Structure 1
């Protein structure tokens, strides 16, 4: 028998993948990509840090970790227009506050996007999933295809809805706003567009074959912003999300019946 002092012990906690992920992330000073690729894990993330890469925006980083961009910016001492730089370290273990602003901030120092106010209804959402949520934003369907996967917060988490389509189909913006992210830096989303609609709402359009707009561009409701594709997935589809104050909400509750 091997003497006790020569035995090699492996702490049991290291055998748990989730704890190993946590341990490695803290050692590395930033979160690993698995934290936002895991369909069974639903942010927000309030631990670790993120090192800004070239082309990243605060909007995209906040989206990745399930945070409100204003709250994450405040936690790191940032102010509108939320300018960040490659190599900058954003702390995720700090929680900021959200200050109401007089206008919607975009990725540009000056934005023509007007501010929309939140309706009284926001504090009392309907019980039935078929009843649309009242909103001061006139939402439109971004694509006319069949919904092949609905919003889900349990099991295999889906933070939006998946809409079937053919490669090259036009993808339309669901409401007027300003493009705050256009790129492919968020793993699992492929070519992604994020649009800021108001102080409270953002929407996202993922898996595009081609992006037709640029960051900072103002867009009108129904404007074609991309070509449907299969980047980041195994078949052509549009993954569409709406986030309210940084939190994923069910798009079907906001979109009109069809």
Structure 2
């Protein structure tokens, strides 16, 4: 009887399934110092554009410490729309001067966004030691072995939208936005060589390889297409 329960269409979480959201995803995330919209969306397996839309946040997607972000559409509102969570005093930008707003604006938002296809290339010259598993829990990507300190390169031109160690299980992590369709992530790094807001070229060294829990030198590499994990090998030459 328990095995058949998953076949029932429970109305209470139907809108989550229609939006591609796990029922275990919390309803609200409170923004901490250093958080970015891209990082938050990545951590919960969501498309950053959906999170922005559910919270009535327009480009350049500026968020503030203490702000409460909705991580799912409101029940009955449809998958694409939701009322925004009321901002906290810290997130209220109505009294900011233009200069203050510019200072808080991510550098990536102050330039023309990239468009067009991604000229993909491998982010490391090491051998593939961990293949993509679409059924894996948590991170879904590939593992590329190499000597610790080996260069980690951008798999395509793009803008660095996250550089830090704030996502559990990824170590020192870089996330690059290539266009409105693709993001890539590079985890387990020993050293990060780029900062949020940097625009990088395809093949540019962005980090130095670190280690995973199983190997002395390994890069964890992910590709997400419109927020969904996909097999990187399907895109790499």
- How many residue pairs were aligned? 188
| SS state at 2:126 partner | coil
Q: After TM superposition, give the deviation of residue 154 of structure 1 in Å.
A: 1.8
Q: Which runs of 5+ in 1 are unaligned?
A: 1-41, 99-105, 117-135
Structure-2 separation of matches of 1:44 and 1:217: 35
1:141 maps to which of 122, 145, 149: 122
Q: Give 2:198's aligned residue.
A: 217
Q: Which runs of 5+ in 2 are unaligned?
A: 1-20, 82-104
Please give the residue correspondences for 1:75-114 in structure 2 after superposition, counting only pairs within 5 Å.
75-94=54-73, 97=80, 107-108=106-107, 109-114=109-114
Q: After TM superposition, give the deviation of residue 155 of structure 1 in Å.
A: 5.0
Larger radius of gyration: 1
TM-score relative to the length of structure 2: 0.74
Instruction: Find out whether 1:233 has 2:227 as its counterpart.
Output: no
| SS state at 1:209 partner | strand
Q: Give 1:62's aligned residue.
A: 41
Q: Cα RMSD between the aligned structures? A: 2.2
Q: After TM superposition, give the deviation of residue 233 of structure 1 in Å.
A: 3.4
Q: After TM superposition, give the deviation of residue 44 of structure 1 in Å.
A: 8.4
Q: After TM superposition, give the deviation of residue 46 of structure 1 in Å.
A: 4.7
TM-score relative to the length of structure 1: 0.68
Counterpart contact for 1:207–1:233, Cα < 8 Å: no
- What do residues 142-163 of structure 1 show as CA deviations (whole Å, max 9, x unaligned)? 0011111111122556511011
Counterpart contact for 1:113–1:218, Cα < 8 Å: no
